[in-house]
Every structure is written in structure tokens, then in C-alpha cells.
A and B are shown apart, each in its own frame.
Chain A
């Protein structure tokens, strides 16, 4: 069975600084996808970034980038130039290839300090 672990319940970052959120996962499969979703208070979850396991290059979306370490089963999210609007719960999620059930971690609450 696949598992996703987010060991940081809460993180804080100063506005304009950089923060890294950690995620580890466990699987014996080779075909899978990894995601970071953002859930602002009382608002819907939106996809921040995704990574296909077969791609060696780390995904990047503007200020958001990942450090995908396949052998270590690690998938961290780096947020550069943090903004107040980045404050939210961030969930790491795993999807086995050919399936549809996301497996989520427990989330990291990110606070951005002005």
C-alpha cells in the first residue's frame, strides 16, 4: 500500500523569503504521479504543481518548484518570494499510474508573516 507523510504540521515564512515543505512517500511501483495542492481557508483546493515519476527534471511553476528525489522517495515543495496569499494548508498527494485514488498526506499549514 502507498503512504504519504508530511512531517511538518506547521511552517512559517517571512514575506519575500523562501520556504520548503517536506513530503515523503512509500511505494514499490514505478508509474506514479505526485502533486502539491493548496487549500486556502474556506476555499477549494487548487493544484500547485505536479510531477510525473518518469520525468527526471524537477517541475517548476513560477515561484513554486519541487525537489523530486525518486530514490529517496522525497518530494519537497519550494516556494520562493513568499507572498501573503500563499498562506494556506498544503497537501502532498500521490496517484498510482492507471488509477484514480489520490492518497494525501496530513498537510502542512503555511503562515506568511508580513
Chain B
């Protein structure tokens, strides 16, 4: 399968714990995006990488969130000191030059 992959698919954690998600984009895609999707809503943009550079962060990303994309390949999204309001589906997408983004299956986070 050469699509966007995300790991884990599901994560249950207790409030206050740290979690980290991984996204592997389609190879040769230099652009990578993170979105968050809460119940009953469409995905909302979180952050964008072009190669290894993080070019934009949404105001939705509090200081507890950090994303990296070392070497311009896979990306990680870390949430520190999780809160119940962080419960959501976290989607990763990638693209090459152009407008179409290819989405991964998402990581569903549940914070108890």
C-alpha cells in the first residue's frame, strides 16, 4: 500500500498523559498537513510542513502541541498533558505540487 499511513489507529489515554502520533506520507510528497476532526465536524487545519520546515501552525494548536518532520519524511504530532477536549480524530495528509491532498486513515484519540 503506497498511501498515507498513520500509527496508531486508536489511542486511549488518561488525562495528563503525553501521546505521540506518527504519519508516513506518500513517498515523494514534499507537503504534509495535520488536521483535527471532532465529532460532528469537518476536519480543521492544524499545521503544514513543506519538506522539513513547519510553515504554519493554526491557533488551534496550543503550546501543548508540537509537530515535527525530521528530514522531510515522516511526521510526528505530540500532545503533552492531554485534556478531555483533545479527544478527536487526528488526520494527516500529504501532497506534491498541486491542490489535491491525500489523507491517511487517522488516529482516533480518546482522553479519559
Contact = CB atoms under 8 A, between A and B. Distances in A.
A55 interface: no
A100 B57 CA distance: 12
Contact of A106 (B40, B45, B100): B40
A102 B40 contact: no
B74 interface: no
Given A50-B99, A50-B100, A44 B106 contact: yes
Interface string A1-38: 00010000000000000000000000000000101010
Contact of B101 (A42, A102, A106): A102
Interface in A57-104: 91, 93, 95, 100-104
Q: Which of B3, B35, B99, B106 has the most CB of A within 10 A?
A: B99
Contact of B100 (A47, A91, A103): A47
B45 to A, nearest CB: 4
A45 B41 contact: no
Given A101-B45, A104-B43, A104-B44, A43 B99 contact: no
B40 A95 contact: no
B104 A44 contact: yes
Contacts of A42: 105
A101 B3 contact: no
B67 interface: no
Contacts of A4: 42
A47 B109 CA distance: 24
Closest CB pairs A-B (n = 10): A104-B42, A45-B103, A44-B105, A101-B45, A44-B103, A104-B43, A33-B99, A91-B42, A106-B42, A105-B42
